[in-house]
Amino acid sequence: MSDTPAAYQLTPGKRVLFLTKDPDLIRKQLAGELNLTLDDVGVEDLLDEINTDVMTPAWVCFDHDPREIAKNAYAGLIVGGERLIPEGALSAGGFEVIVSGYGKGVGSSRETAVQAEKYSGIKLAIAASFAPIHARNNINQGVLMGDHALLRRVQAGESIPLEEFGKGEDSVTQAIIRMGGLFPFTKALMNGEVSVPAPDTPPRPMTMAEKIVATHLVGPGTHVKPGDAVLVKVDGGYSHEFTTAQVHEFLREHFGEDYAIKSDPQKFAVFEDHLVYAMDVASFAAFKDKIQTLVDMQRKFQEHTQVLSFDARSGRSPGICHQVARERIVEPGDFIQATDSHTCMGGGSNAYTYGVGTTEYAALIYSGVTTAIVPESVRFELEGELNPGVTAKDVMLYILLHHATKRDTLNRSMEFGGPGLRSLSMDERATLANMATECTARSGICEADDATLEWIRARRPELDEAELRARCVAPDPGAEYAGGVHRIDLSEIQPMVAHPGDPDRGIPSDPTNGVDIADLDEVRIDIAYGGSCTAGKEHDLDYYAQVMQEGADAGLKVKDHVTFYIQFGSERVAKYAEGKGYLSLFEKTGVQVIPPGCGACIGCGPGVSTNPDQVSVSAINRNFRGRSGPGRLYLASPLTVAASALTGKITAYRPGMFQQA
């Protein structure tokens, strides 16, 4: 059993770092010139929405050793063009507690963000609220969390029992906290030293996420409710070259060199998709050896476990993990976990899918089961149909603006249904599910219909239609939605563009009401990017081609000062585009086409900005500062991105607009 202390008390001589909105206060704390308390700064003075790209930018993740990662904690916190927290400064400052405001750890699921703090000496993270995946990564890594009221007690010298850190949590999470992390808990679980009681929830109407969890319970039980802590079987999952090396090392460290996974290797996979084009970014040249090490270690993991391999040995990636997974792995009713926040994209196929950190993934692929907390749900009842020129991306930017900022979606399963959903293609439904993570939701899941089954069987004809249909889930009448039921008339959605810095900073294009994307001060662009898991699907290629064909018919090409990149989400998408004749159209109109991969979405490929003055309009999923280069990045739909490439400025696409010109 764990030898973790039963209480936490600030170690004598150790310090508390307040991440304030005033950079000078942070500098003085790092230099040892200042020690703050909540009497000196209020919660309103602290940084909010610190994202994991800031805590550990992509290049930091080229190291898989947490001790090396820790040297570059907060490397993405840039002020005046320089790192606010220099290399090694967090560790050198003798800090044991780190304090911020609301929404700590939003964005990517990268567990490296927690490791950077932990291996710099941080034992306690304080915030007004934590993003769900980041919070779970803290728990799994054994880093304690608390609010600002608890901080006052810590700074007063009080010893806080570990039970207090688990207050309000389920019994399983409390056990993980007491034992110092997920690996000690997993070992104890497999040795029979701890157990996860089956839920005793009586029959009740359930949401889609609840029904999928209920069908995956280990042991007795047929119904669950939000907050139930359960042990469930995982159907499948995947990791990629940014994360697999740590998974392999963690398994070797905690379960021995000859560890054997208990999961079905044919439903689990590894992908080479994130770093395939990293060498096309000049600033990454120095990391060539580290990237190769990550690739080599992933291949060793695959050989050891015999999970499916989607590698790039041919020099070309088979595709982005989330897109390929929906083509090859995910089925209706599945429970899927993977080491990436956009794992929720699989929910477009009527599955319950979400991202986890490397610790959690290593534990679940080793044991074949995982602990889960049944989430609350929020339902979006879609009605009507989208107008021409409007896409599912616009719908999600609308939801981000009107619901995510109100916390309707926080840590909940976003459920999409209604007649409006049935008017959307499977690729558009995947966009809805994909961007649930931008809403800081646990997952997104769409209702199934005949189109769902047809799409899956077109890619996997060996699957039996009757069996697939039997696995589909729908919400029960009377199911409870703690986040509410929100009706959205798709016909009222307008094209949206999100300002740089955050995907929830969207504005609509609605000239009839005096609001228009054109009011963005005639924003001149340098880069247009169409790609990523969110916008590199077959239907997305249709959108790009629609606009570029209209431009070609009007004698237009991509503006001379703009570089327009289109990157495929998978090899299947690339073949689809070729078969439709899109490649020649793109070449004729000045588009640069890139083979499948994540690329510019994570700052690792063509399409990233190279200086702060550049402006990009992109169809990717998130636009955190610095994620795709140092420039300003606006988020938009594939249609708006293509139209902007033709006009040279951010432009909402309207059907026929170029012929009219």
d(CA 635, CA 630): 15
Mean pLDDT to the nearest integer, 150-171: 94
- Residue bearing the bigger pLDDT, 299 or 599: 299
Mean residue pLDDT of the chain comes to 93
Domain identity same for 224 and 322:
yes
Within-domain flag for 268: yes
Q: Is residue 515 very low, low, confident or very high in pLDDT (cuts 50, 70, 90)?
A: very low
Mean pLDDT to the nearest integer, 254-283: 92
Domain identity same for 364 and 500:
no
pLDDT digits (tens, 9 = 90+) for 360-376: 999 999 999 999 999 99
Among 373, 389, 406, where does a domain finish?
Answer: 373
- 3 state SS for 313-363: CCCCCCECHHHHHHHHCCCCCCEEEECCHHHHHHHHHCCEEEECCHHHHHH
C-alpha distances out from residue 506 to 304, 404, 497, 499, 615, Å? 46, 12, 5, 6, 16
Name the residue among 54, 100, 56, 60 with its Cα closest to residue 77: 54
DSSP string, 11-76: PTT-EEEE-BSSHHHHHHHHTTS----TTTS-GGGBPPS-BHHHHS-GGGGG--SHHHHHTTTTTT
Mean pLDDT to the nearest integer, 63-88: 95
CB 500 within 8 Å of CB 623: yes
Q: Over the range 56-78, which residues count as b (16 or more CB within 10 Å of their CB) and which as e?
A: bbbbbbbbbebeebbbbbbbbbb
Domain identity same for 654 and 549:
yes
What are the φ/ψ torsions at residue 603 (nearest 5 degrees)?
75, 20
pLDDT digits (tens, 9 = 90+) for 615-657: 999 999 988 888 888 899 999 999 999 999 999 999 999 999 9
Domain identity same for 518 and 656:
yes
pLDDT at 2 over 70: no
Mean pLDDT to the nearest integer, 585-609: 93
Residue 661: per-residue pLDDT? 52
Domains contained in the chain, number: 3
Within-domain flag for 476: no
Name the residue among 225, 527, 524 with its Cα closest to residue 376: 225
Within-domain flag for 472: no
Within-domain flag for 459: no
Residue 517: per-residue pLDDT? 59
pLDDT at 511 over 70: no
**Largest CA-CA distance found in the chain, in angstroms, rounded:** 73
Domain identity same for 226 and 289:
yes
Residue 518: per-residue pLDDT? 52
Among 373, 389, 404, where does a domain finish?
Answer: 373
- Structure tokens, 418: 């209604």
pLDDT at 521 over 60: no
pLDDT at 532 over 80: yes
Paired with 369 in beta bridges are: 233
Residue 514: per-residue pLDDT? 42
Domain identity same for 113 and 223:
no
pLDDT digits (tens, 9 = 90+) for 188-219: 998 899 989 889 999 999 999 999 999 999 98
- Residue bearing the bigger pLDDT, 509 or 642: 642
Residue 31: per-residue pLDDT? 97
Residue 283: per-residue pLDDT? 80
- Structure tokens, 327: 């083509």
Mean pLDDT to the nearest integer, 591-598: 96
Single-letter residue type at 477: P
pLDDT digits (tens, 9 = 90+) for 18-46: 999 999 999 999 999 999 999 999 999 99
Q: Residue 118 sits in which domain range?
A: 7-182
Please state which of the ranges 57-66, 116-125, 552-561 shows the lowest mean pLDDT.
57-66
Domain identity same for 20 and 154:
yes
Within-domain flag for 452: no
Residue 516: per-residue pLDDT? 53
pLDDT at 117 over 90: yes
What are the φ/ψ torsions at residue 570 (nearest 5 degrees)?
-160, 170
pLDDT at 1 over 60: no
Name the residue among 576, 583, 498, 579 with its Cα closest to residue 537: 576
pLDDT at 509 over 60: no
- Structure tokens, 309: 């391999």
Domain identity same for 213 and 144:
no
Domain identity same for 222 and 324:
yes
Please give the span between the terminal C-alpha atoms of the chain, in angstroms, as a whole number: 73
Domain identity same for 258 and 352:
yes
CATH code assigned at 653: 3.30.499.10
- Residue bearing the bigger pLDDT, 237 or 624: 237
Within-domain flag for 543: yes
Residue 155: per-residue pLDDT? 97
Domain identity same for 564 and 648:
yes
Domain identity same for 356 and 300:
yes
Within-domain flag for 411: no
pLDDT digits (tens, 9 = 90+) for 307-361: 999 999 888 999 999 999 999 999 999 999 999 999 999 999 999 999 998 999 9
Within-domain flag for 300: yes
d(CA 349, CA 331): 6
Residue 546: per-residue pLDDT? 97
Among 340, 358, 373, where does a domain finish?
Answer: 373
CATH code assigned at 108: 3.20.19.10
H or E element in which residue 160 lies: strand 160-161
Percentage of the chain lying above the pLDDT 90 cut: 84
- Region label for 134, one of left (φ > 0), alpha (ψ between -120 and 50) or beta (otherwise): alpha
d(CA 90, CA 92): 6
Name the residue among 294, 224, 271, 436 with its Cα closest to residue 351: 436
Mean pLDDT to the nearest integer, 165-181: 92
